Structure 1
Amino acid sequence: MAPSSPDAPAFLYLAAHPLRWRLLTALAAGDYRVRELVRLVGEPQNLVSYHLRLLRDSGLVIATRSSFDGRDSYYHLDLDHCARALAGIGTALHPALHREAALPPVDPRRSPRLDVLFVCTGNSARSPIAEALLGHRAGSQVTVLSAGTRPRPRLHPYAVRVLRDTFGIDITGQQPRHLDTVTGRRYDYVITLCDKAREVCPDFAAEPRRMHWSVPDPTTTGDTSDPDYSAFQRAATDIDTRVRHLLPLLSATRPAKETAS
């Protein structure tokens, strides 16, 4: 007599539904609002909202209030949660199938040389943090810049501090850049980290891949004259997770220079 089987892991139930899988796949490419997901998957809004709620309840998807329009929200796929859930499926089937959830290794010698631009509004916290973290993790294979649509006079000291204390990266002396000063070159990826910047970010030559990471602005937490440092820690952790999951995509990307030639 065969032993009784336990219930299938929740991730299998959630991801096996065709619409939920399409939503997960769409969100793997960046953050979107409900109406954008409706267009991407071609299903009614009430149906999309229902399945998004199931994904949110499971912790696979996170919603954050838009800083551009407070009545709206962006949905974000928690890739680390997905990795742990996938690793747990193997264990549930057979102990021998267990493996640690990890990103695939990226060999910088086989990766193409790419150009990536991060954009936010002030270029004083989120986009410089992303620039520093991607440059640190990708090394010489990626030329990475950041800029702002309305740059502030200087980097926020907490952004400098969190990079130094948490990641050992020193960006002391770096100055915010205006987006207009970096739009004359080709990019393979243009990634916005600010909901406001996403709305005004211009088109670029060679049609780079556009992504949006809806990261809350740490400079607006607490007293405006003395923001909460923990908000910068949360933002840096969020950005670093996204950067780590970006690396395999960069490894498989053909540079825009080759595509345009």
Structure 2
Amino acid sequence: MTASPPPVLPDERLASGIARLAVRYRGRFAAETIQRLVIDSYERLAEHARVRTHLVVLAEHLATERLDALAHIEGAPGSGLPRVLFVCSHNAGRSQMAAALLAHRAAGQVAVSSAGTHPAAEVEPVVTQVLTEAGVDLTDAFPKPLTDEVVRAADIVITMGCGDSCPIVPGRRYLDWPVADPDGASIEVVRQIRDDINTRITDLLASLPST
């Protein structure tokens, strides 16, 4: 039986990232699985998130997050941290703020992800600004499409204004945070949204099991 030819890379620069991930996940995932996820991540970012700059680098980052989630689903050793996923429509405002604030405050004791059902091209600059004021770095953040692996790996899914398009997976703890949308809001209002989210995170952290 003749083997199927390997898939054609949409950008030859993806090969370097695939090679790095093959080393990182050696013995865990087959090279074909890694290549498939990298290509799929690239295509999702190009089509759904409309990302145009640093697309190759961001595809590797997204594929890494998806592979880590897949490893958690399959029971990788050392993957026992509580996993929280924030979901909003565009992953450019509320969910980015919530994920960054939780990651900052949890100090490595929680695995945090965020995604959008219809991701934007970039994080809203005012969101980055108000987080910087609070001592939280959002430099490397980018809007990500919602993927099956990340949803299934989450222990808690927190929705923030994505309506009926938010995922429902049996066995997960779901919370809905009715937080105002920062899109088009003044910086004073976005600061209030940040503080609202931060208060909710205080309650969330208190509800999580200690690790």
TM-score range, shorter chain: 0.5 to 0.7
Look up the equivalent residue of 2:102 and give its one-letter code.
L
* Corresponding letter in the other structure for 1:130: A
Q: How does 1:174-185 map to 2 (within 5 A)?
A: 174-180=141-147, 182-183=149-150, 185=152
1:147–1:182 contact (8 Å) kept in structure 2: no
C-alpha distance in structure 2 between counterparts of 1:235 and 1:189, whole Å: 21
Q: Secondary structure at the match of 1:116?
A: strand
Q: How has the CA–CA distance of structure 1 residues 174 and 218 changed in structure 2, closer, same or farther, with 3 Å as cutoff?
A: same
Q: Which one of the candidate residues 118, 126, 134 is aligned to 2:86?
A: 118
User: Structure 1 residues 132 and 199 mapped into 2: Cα distance closer, same or farther (>3 Å)?
Assistant: same
Alpha-carbon distance between aligned partners in 1 of 2:95 and 2:120, rounded to the nearest angstrom: 12
TM-score normalised per structure 2: 0.58
CA spacing shift, 1:154–1:248, aligned 2, 3 Å: same
Counterparts of residues 33-112 of structure 1 (less than 5 Å): none
- Paired with 1:184 and 1:119, the residues of 2 have a C-alpha distance of 10
Deviation at 1:140, TM superposition (A): 1.4
What SS does structure 1 have at the residue aligned with 2:138?
Answer: coil
Tell me the residue number matched to 1:219.
183
CA contact (8 A) 2:88 2:159 kept: yes
Amino acid at match of 2:165: V
- The letter of the residue matching 1:245 is D
**How far does the alpha carbon of each residue in 1:126-170 deviate from its partner, in whole angstroms, 9 at most, with x for none?**
0010001111111211000000000100000011010001x2011
Q: Rg larger in 1 or in 2?
A: 1
Query: Kindly, what percent of the aligned residue pairs are identical?
Result: 39
- Counterparts of 1:223-242 in structure 2, within 5 Å, are 228-242=186-200
Q: 5+ unaligned residues in a row in structure 1: which ranges? A: 1-111, 222-227, 254-261
The CA deviation at 1:252 is: 6.3
Count of paired positions: 132
What residue in structure 1 maps to residue 76 of structure 2?
none
Q: Does 1:154 align with 2:119?
A: no
CA contact 2:84–2:157 (8 Å) conserved in 1: yes
Alignment of 1:143 onto 2:111? yes
Unpaired segments ≥5 residues, structure 2: 1-79
1:210 and 1:122 mapped to 2: Cα distance? 19
| Aligned counterpart in structure 2 of residue 202 of structure 1, from 146, 167, 170 | 167
Identify the residue that residue 245 of structure 1 maps to in structure 2. 203
* Aligned mates of 1:202, 1:139 — CA distance in 2: 27
1:182 Cα offset (Å): 4.8
Q: CA deviation at 1:248?
A: 1.2
Q: Distance in 2 between matches of 1:170 and 1:181?
A: 27
Runs of 4+ in 1 over 2 A off after TM superposition: 180-185
Paired residues of 1:149 and 1:201 also in contact (CA < 8 A): yes
Root-mean-square deviation (Å): 1.9
**Residues of 2 paired with 1:188 and 1:116: CA distance?**
6
